[in-house]
Structure 1
Amino acid sequence: MPSQRLSVVVTRRLPEAVETRMSELFNVELREEDRPLTRDELVDAMRRADVLVPCIADKIDGGMLGQAGERLKLIANYGAGVDHVDVATARQRGILVSNTPGVMTDDTADMAMALILSVLRRVPEGMAVMQQGNWAGWAPTAFMGGRVGGKRLGILGMGRIGQAVAKRAAAFGMQVHYHNRRRLHEDIENALEATYWESLDQMIARMDVISVNCPHTPSTFHLMNARRLKLMKPEAVIVNTSRGEVIDENALTRMLRAGEIAGAGLDVFEKGREVNPRLRELQNVVLLPHMGSATREGRIEMGEKVLINIKTFADGHRPPDLVVPSML
């Protein structure tokens, strides 16, 4: 790249410290209004940028990339997941894609445990009664949930976040089980005291809690489909802090309404902000607005990774967090 400062276009508001540093390093176009860009606005942003900094809410498909022109050379995604970007088409057009892996591991694992606790112990129901002023006092059979210790936890996807969930679950006395594309090394398995299941179906049928921690790829779309959800025990619960597309949300909703699954904790949804309205009606469901990585520390670290990726690229080197299609 030439020596002049890169033109960087950011699609959403970022933490102030990140925006300040970005402005010092590059010719940056920041957002004043914190709303998702429309499709046409995204295409226009790509046409005038050397580097685009999008986030998960920005769907960038092949058709949009075809309209981007020749200027765009790097999509420095603010976030670890890149399923919203057509990475293969980007690479074909000479556009690199980077992400921010690793910085949200602990934060997302914390949220997975928070959802497990909230669903099993019926925390939102108790909060609602107190906030509405309807508490009639302690009673022996009121708000009885399930004990966390001793429960079998089945982790779907044993990468960094899945392993962090396993460590937390073990501290609560849960039995850790997992299914993964590849079995972990024996030393890691032993350290986590985790039991591997080659058959996802067999694991699902025996667990008390399922935690979804795998990325969204073509092979994981609706991995938890209606057939697999029906394998779950009626008293089991499922939590998802990964990607909504991994679960067939309509099938899950039907089974929760019918009492065929005891509960669910969801931080992500199949259609983004369009949450199935029937889910909101259920007391045995905890819904959160994609808060898994929402810590001040994590969001600043994500921004720092974006800055390093752009600066490395500007210096003529490969971004350290370059995403290639074979990784997906």
Structure 2
Amino acid sequence: MHHQAMAQDKPYALISEVSEEGYIQEAVDVIKPHFQIITHQEFLQDPDCLSSRIQALFLWDNKPALEPSLLRSLPALKVIANGGVGIDHLDVPHLNSLGVRVSNTPHVVSNATADMAMGLLLASARRILEGHLASVDPNTVRLPRNLMGVEVTGSTLGIIGMGHIGLKIAQRGRGFDMKILYYNRNRRSCEDEQTVGALFCENMEELLKQSDFVVLAVNLTPETTGLIGLKELSFMKPTATLVNVSRGPVVDQDALVQALQKRTIRAAALDVTYPEPLPRDHPLLRLPNVIITPHAGTDTNTTTVKMVQMMVDNALAALGGRHMPSEVKPL
């Protein structure tokens, strides 16, 4: 009896689903002690009973989709805790006007995303995917000796967006003795620059012209949408590689296809596209000098659990009327 009473005391939280597509079990175990978990499916089966009880919504991979109809059916909602840093899919002023506070999960995603950036960079530079496919191909008689790659050690790494993730990427680049350039809205402190050995570029053109690898690590905003277009790609070296671990719309995809086809740049390695996934007939999928991964930058057990823990901390703070560790305020 006592246990049931305690369960009833827990606030209700709406999540997408528990599965490979949604929340891993380890993440659910983080939520369970604090919230009565309702999956979207359960909610749709009994909205009348549940709508007035749900106070928190945990948004993972932008699911459940924040349709106006869903928001209207959650009158008791007080907080939306978003998994991930990017909140370009959330209308924060509108949500705040409904009395809903919003949070994200900065910093905890930085290591995994920086690792992914380096993984894509290395795989593209050393043609690891092509080498693997040739090595496992049943028709291979003689292993290819013509997979000439690009030397990463000692090359120039240009980072566009020097936030928490950008700094982690620079730190890793330093381990490869790379020369590190960065472009950011605001220059970082001398201390930060010295810690990762990074040189500030006053303008993006300067960085693009010098870099062997350009890594995008910016937030998606109106200013960064289409940040890399035909002009920017034309500034890059023909031997350079573009790596994107930020958001798909930061790059003008049509311009990228053109640059890759004409070999204006050597290659691209993308963890993000728009849309995701790309239509199966999209030209990017047929180019030999592209690697694409399925927006998996934060997909490790360690980082997922840290993200969900932060979502829980934010939601509990909001429900308790306290300061939230990472509340998103309207710009």
Does the CA contact (< 8 Å) of 2:171 and 2:196 recur in 1? yes
Aligned length: 317
Match among 307, 314, 318 for residue 309 of structure 1 = 314
Q: In the TM superposition, what is the alpha-carbon distance from 1:10 to its structure 2 partner?
A: 0.3
Pairs within 5 Å for 1:1-328: 4-13=9-18, 14-30=23-39, 49-58=54-63, 63=68, 67-68=72-73, 70-137=75-142, 142-274=146-278, 277-326=282-331
Q: In the TM superposition, what is the alpha-carbon distance from 1:60 to its structure 2 partner?
A: 5.7
Does the CA contact (< 8 Å) of 1:60 and 1:86 recur in 2? no
Q: In the TM superposition, what is the alpha-carbon distance from 1:315 to its structure 2 partner?
A: 2.5
Does the CA contact (< 8 Å) of 1:279 and 1:285 recur in 2? yes
Does the CA contact (< 8 Å) of 1:154 and 1:204 recur in 2? yes
Does the CA contact (< 8 Å) of 1:170 and 1:176 recur in 2? yes
- TM-score, with length taken from structure 1: 0.88
Q: In the TM superposition, what is the alpha-carbon distance from 1:305 to its structure 2 partner?
A: 0.8
Q: In the TM superposition, what is the alpha-carbon distance from 1:170 to its structure 2 partner?
A: 1.2
Q: Cα deviations across residues 243-285 of structure 1 (Å, max 9, x unaligned)?
A: 1111111210121112111001000112122257211211211
Identity %: 31
Q: For residues 294 and 69 of structure 1, what CA distance do their matches in structure 2 show? A: 29
Of the structure 1 ranges 7-16 and 247-256, higher mean CA displacement relative to structure 2 is found in 7-16
Q: For residues 265 and 118 of structure 2, what CA distance do their matches in structure 1 show? A: 19
Does the CA contact (< 8 Å) of 2:270 and 2:292 recur in 1? yes
Change (3 A) 1:19 1:270: same
Q: In the TM superposition, what is the alpha-carbon distance from 1:189 to its structure 2 partner?
A: 0.8
| RMSD (Å), alpha carbons | 2.7
Q: Cα deviations across residues 145-182 of structure 1 (Å, max 9, x unaligned)?
A: 11111211110000111011101111112110000010
Q: In the TM superposition, what is the alpha-carbon distance from 1:136 to its structure 2 partner?
A: 4.3
Does the CA contact (< 8 Å) of 1:50 and 1:74 recur in 2? yes
- TM-score, with length taken from structure 2: 0.88
Does the CA contact (< 8 Å) of 1:99 and 1:321 recur in 2? yes
Q: In the TM superposition, what is the alpha-carbon distance from 1:68 to its structure 2 partner?
A: 4.8
Q: In the TM superposition, what is the alpha-carbon distance from 1:138 to its structure 2 partner?
A: 5.3
Q: For residues 230 and 223 of structure 2, what CA distance do their matches in structure 1 show? A: 16
Q: For residues 285 and 300 of structure 1, what CA distance do their matches in structure 2 show? A: 31
Does the CA contact (< 8 Å) of 2:158 and 2:180 recur in 1? yes
Does the CA contact (< 8 Å) of 1:65 and 1:89 recur in 2? no
Does the CA contact (< 8 Å) of 2:78 and 2:318 recur in 1? no
AA at the equivalent of 2:129: P
Q: Which runs of 5+ in 2 are unaligned?
A: 1-7
Change (3 A) 1:252 1:125: same
Q: Cα deviations across residues 56-90 of structure 1 (Å, max 9, x unaligned)?
A: 33486685576355321110112222111111211
Of the structure 1 ranges 81-90 and 176-185, higher mean CA displacement relative to structure 2 is found in 81-90
